[in-house]
Amino acid sequence: MATADDIIDIADILGVTFQDDCVAAALKFFPAEAPNDTNIDEVIKKAQENDCELMEINLNNIKHISKQKWETLFNVLKDNNTVEAVSAANCDLNDSIVKMLCDCLESNSTIKQLNLESNSVTGKMVLDIIKSTANTKGLEELKIANQYNNMYLGSAIEYALAEMIPKYPHLVKLGVRLEFRDFSFN
């Protein structure tokens, strides 16, 4: 084991300034974040009424929303023209629920931002989300990284994504984790 003198000698050889008085700062504890108390039924009602104050829907970290509630929300959003951002990160979403969202995006051009991070969405469904915006060209930002069922999309999906992105110029921000870096977006 090296002594303090040995470490000082090595530091001198390497040209590093050795500090005798290194001290760790005391840990700072922050209070736990309050749980998301958004009421899904109120959100659905406001979205159905096209409430002009409902521009952003934040359902992050709300678990156990039933498939029927998601279906109702996405059906209401099809005709909504006030909501610009939908965030449903860490909500236990799977492909069957996201398929309903795709149907919504096919007719809604108002939603500009969509955050579905930390769910269970497959790579194929990521492609379907982007394809569903072909007619409306509304979605500008999609965050879909950190899916529980697959950290990476896989080479086939990533190559399909690389070919698809130039065809959807309205999508200017894509938050996804790529494994392979040997392709370019042309």
Q: Which of 166, 168, 177 is nearest to 137 (CA)?
A: 168
Average pLDDT, the chain: 90
- Report pLDDT for 3: 83
Q: Which of 147, 137, 124 is nearest to 172 (CA)?
A: 137
- Report pLDDT for 41: 97
- Report pLDDT for 7: 80
Span 104-121, mean pLDDT? Answer: 96
In eight-state DSSP terms, residue 151 is S
**Does this model's pTM top 0.75?**
yes
Span 94-121, mean pLDDT? Answer: 97
CATH class of 39-175: alpha beta
Span 80-99, mean pLDDT? Answer: 97
Q: Where are the domains of the chain?
A: 39-175
HSE-CB of 122 using CA atoms within 13 angstroms: 8
**How many angstroms separate the CA atoms of 153 and 111, rounded?**
24
pLDDT score of 78 more than 90 = yes
In eight-state DSSP terms, residue 150 is B
Residue 159: alpha-carbon gap to chain centroid: 20
